[in-house]
Amino acid sequence: MKSSHDCLQTRLCRCLALAANGMLMLFIFVSPIFAEEHTVEETAPPVKKYVAFTLSGTFTDTKTVSTFGTSSTKTLRGLFKKLDALKNDDEVAGVIFKIGNVGVGWATLQEIRDKLSELRDAEKETIGYLESGGNAEYLLAAAMGSIVLMPTGSLNLTGLRAEVLFYKGLLEKLDIQADMLAMGKYKSGVEPYTRDGMSEAFRESMSALLDDLYAQLLNQIAESREGITPETAAELINRGPFTAEEAHGAKLVDRLQYYDELLEAIKMAPEGEIQVVSSSEGKRKVPNMNSFAGLMQLFSMLNPPQRAQPAAEMQIALIYASGPILMSAEPLLATMPVITPKVFKKAFQKARTDDSVRAVVLRVDSPGGSALASDLIWREVMLTQREKPVVVSMSDVAASGGYYIAMAAGTIIAQPATLTGSIGVFGGKLNLKGFYNKVGLTKEIISHGQNATLYSDYGSFTPTERERVEKMMKTVYQDFVSKAAAGRNKPFADIDTIAQGRVWSGKQAKELGLVDELGGLDTALSIAKQQAGFSDEDKFNVIVLPKQKTFFEQFLESMVEDMETSMPIQGRGALRIATLPMLDLRWNQIITWLSLFEKEQVVTFLPFDILIR
């Protein structure tokens, strides 16, 4: 029999057990609530990251060659890689583009706009900031979700103009006669040398081209800005340029702020914590030139090591064709991009013979040049197209010889603003006799052969020489049209009608059948990928051909060739080319064009820049 003490102890234990069970049940039911409250308190709002990106300067397809190596020129593919990285970065909520002076052609501008629109499609907030800007800068800003202009800035939206420089008056003052002929109603390449203004045909062609580019400008503004139609865009342009207040009142921009005010407003947004970081394109630190280590650092910067391409069984070759088309490049022209048959023959032969290369993309940005050199490159494109797909991507200009080297490809892509076509030829020479006499120089010529003086600069063409030049020009023109007709799968007469040396916009060229699709380099690579038979999952490399050489590499290579052929550089030619770096780029191009006439009387190029601002 239990004692009363034991009974009391037993009851106490039972009470304690019941109390423990109750506390346990209470903890089980209540703890989720506390846990949930604790989780809510500990979860910090996500940090939104905005990237500040400077978009300014000149963007080219290839780097400019300097004396020691390739310069720090900004390339289009480099820009696109950075924009793709921002687009695919899930941590990036938005990008602030600080837009400065942009030096690109209209087709390149459209290509950059297309790339910027991909950021908006990826649901990234994009803001374009302008301190001031013209047509090009505004079109880039208009591709953003919103536009901010500095309160004291201006918007120089004034429309387009085309400028062509004429040299006849200068030649007359120097007693130089331009003896030139053209094949094609609109082949106006000789006019800057023979006239002081446009012919009716030239004016008709240029007016139609500018009309089309202006319509594209109005449509791009209307598509980008809510509440603005092409008609109202034209009215606004007629009122330009604008002060900041006027631009804001016309709804051309969304806000007026200084850059620091814009950044502060973004950071103070109520959505949560926002972090603004600069883009990764930091400026290189200038090396200390007073030390040996600094000199070595400079040499390393100018001669960056070649990046090893990862091995791949499937590749697409990307061949850049930028600059005038010449039979050969003088060593001292090495800093200027040129297109020569020798270099491009090697590039296309490698693309044809390399089994890992499944397709080729030819990127063309050229006003043409030598008819003979153009045909040699055309043949390499044609031979390659027979074995594997060749897709052409046209940049700012693919005219005359620039179109010639493209027309054998299976597919041709251009931007709506690409200067395209100019299927025609012209020829001639400069008669320098008057100039020589003016400065006290005379020549005596002893010749054998009726046309022996055809290439002489001390007289105009004789009647028989002129007849031979016209015959050669007609032959080249008919061959040009025939090959364009074959490449475009059209009758000769159809191509001849739209040829005649006329320059078209890419949009017009597509409507005429000279171009297959509208787009940029990404479009061409995508089409090449499909034509090569790659699936979406296939991994492939893009290899760039030809490999760009430094100035010294090209110079030494040329010296070796000269020694092998025992043909030293002629003094007059070397002196002429050596003066090029001291001249403006436009005069460099003029002299390059004129140098063609020393060796060829029939050429396919635009000897003038069509400046559209």
- pLDDT: which is higher, 597 or 31: 597
Q: Phi, psi at residue 325, to the nearest 5°?
A: -100, 115
pLDDT confidence of residue 275? 84
Q: Is residue 233, in this structure, part of any structural domain at all?
A: no
pTM of the model: 0.81
Tokens of 269: 């947004």
Closest CA to 418 of 508, 535, 501, 327: 508
Percent of the chain topping pLDDT 90? 58
Question: Is residue 494 predicted with pLDDT exceeding 90?
Answer: yes
Confidence at 572, pLDDT banded by 50, 70, 90: very low
The count of other CB atoms within 10 Å of the CB of residue 100 is 14
pLDDT (average), residues 59-68: 69
Q: Are 460 and 431 in contact (CB under 8 A)?
A: yes
The pLDDT assigned to 337 comes to 81
pLDDT for 287 beyond 90: no
Buried b (16+ CB within 10 A) or exposed e, 377-389: bbbbbbebbeebb
Q: Is the pLDDT of residue 92 over 90?
A: yes
Residues 409 and 501 in one domain: yes
> How many other CB atoms are there within 10 angstroms of residue 119's CB atom?
22
509 inside domain:
yes
Compute the mean pLDDT over every residue in the chain, rounded to the nearest whole number. Answer: 81
Tell me the DSSP string of 439-482.
TT--------STTTTTT-SSS---HHHHHHHHHHHHHHHHHHHH
Helices (H), 90-165: 106-121, 135-142
* Residue 252 and residue 340 in one domain: no
| Average confidence (pLDDT) over 457-482 | 93
Q: What is the CATH number of the domain that holds 141?
A: 3.90.226.10
Q: Among all chains, which residue has been given the structure tokens 């919103």?
A: 146
Whether residues 373 and 246 share a domain: the answer is no
339 in the same domain as 269: no
Domain-embedded: residue 429: yes
Q: What is the pLDDT of residues 546-563, one digit of tens each?
A: 776 554 444 444 444 444
Per DSSP, helices labelled H in 287-398 are 292-302, 341-353, 371-387
Instruction: Point out the domain boundary residue: 278, 303, 332.
Output: 278
Least reliable range by pLDDT among 52-56, 174-178, 565-569: 565-569
Min mean pLDDT across 18-22, 94-98, 437-441, 591-595 is at: 18-22
Give the separation between CA 265 and CA 118, rounded to whole angstroms: 25
Rounded CA-CA distance 214/159 in Å is 7
Task: Output the six-digit token pair for 574.
Answer: 């070397």
Residue 501, SS3? coil
Rounded Cα gap, residues 319 and 458, in angstroms: 41
Torsion sign across C-alpha atoms 525, 531, 534, 540? negative
Q: What range does the domain containing 400 cover?
A: 312-443+451-612
E strands present in 48-91 = 48-57, 59-60, 74-75
What is the Cα–Cα distance from 251 to 86, expressed in whole angstroms? 28
How much is the pLDDT for 593? 59
Residue 11 pLDDT exceeds 60 = no
Tell me: cis bond preceding 491? Omega within 30 of 0 counts. Answer: no
Kindly state whether residue 211 falls inside one of the protein's structural domains: no
Q: Which amino acid is at 443?
A: K
Q: Which of 224, 255, 278 is the last residue of a domain?
A: 278
pLDDT tens for 230-240 read 999 999 999 98
Distance from C-alpha of 242 to C-alpha of 153, rounded to nearest angstrom: 9
Verify that 401 and 514 share a domain, yes or no. Answer: yes
Residue 567 domain-assigned?
yes
CA distance 398 to 377: 14
Alpha helices in 516-602 (DSSP H): 521-531, 551-565, 571-578, 585-596
Residues 516 and 416 in one domain: yes
Token representation of residue 405? 């080297």
Q: How far apart are CA 434 and CA 288, in angstroms?
A: 53
Question: Does residue 345 share a domain with residue 413?
Answer: yes
Percent of the chain scored above 70 by pLDDT? Answer: 73
**pLDDT at 138 (0 to 100):** 96
The per-residue pLDDT for 595 is: 61
Q: What is the pLDDT of residue 38?
A: 47
Domain check: are 250 and 328 in the same one?
A: no
Q: Are residues 244 and 353 in the same domain?
A: no
208 or 276, which is more confident: 208
Residue 25 pLDDT > 70, yes or no? Answer: no
Q: Which of 278, 302, 325 is the last residue of a domain?
A: 278
**17 CB-contact burial (10 Å; exposed 0-12 / middle 13-18 / buried 19+):** exposed
**Contact of 412 with 514, CB cutoff 8 Å:** yes
The answer to whether 160 touches 249, Cβ cutoff 8 Å, is no
Residue 320 has pLDDT above 70, yes or no: yes
Cis peptide before 389 (omega within 30 of 0): no
Co-location of 79 and 131 in the same domain: yes
Give me 94's structure tokens.
């938005």
The count of domains in the chain is 2
The segment with the largest mean pLDDT, out of 55-69, 182-196, 402-416, is: 402-416
List the single range of 111-115, 287-291, 441-445 with lowest mean pLDDT: 287-291
Residue 126: name the closest of 159, 83, 169 by CA. 83
Confidence tier at 144 by pLDDT (50, 70, 90):
very high
Both 273 and 335 in a single domain? Answer: no
Query: Shortest CA distance to 283 belongs to which of 308, 301, 295?
Result: 301
**pLDDT digit string (tens) for 409-439?**
999 999 999 999 999 998 888 899 999 999 9
Q: Is residue 247 part of a domain?
A: yes
Q: Looking at residue 23, what is its pLDDT?
A: 46
Q: Do residue 267 and residue 355 come from a single domain?
A: no
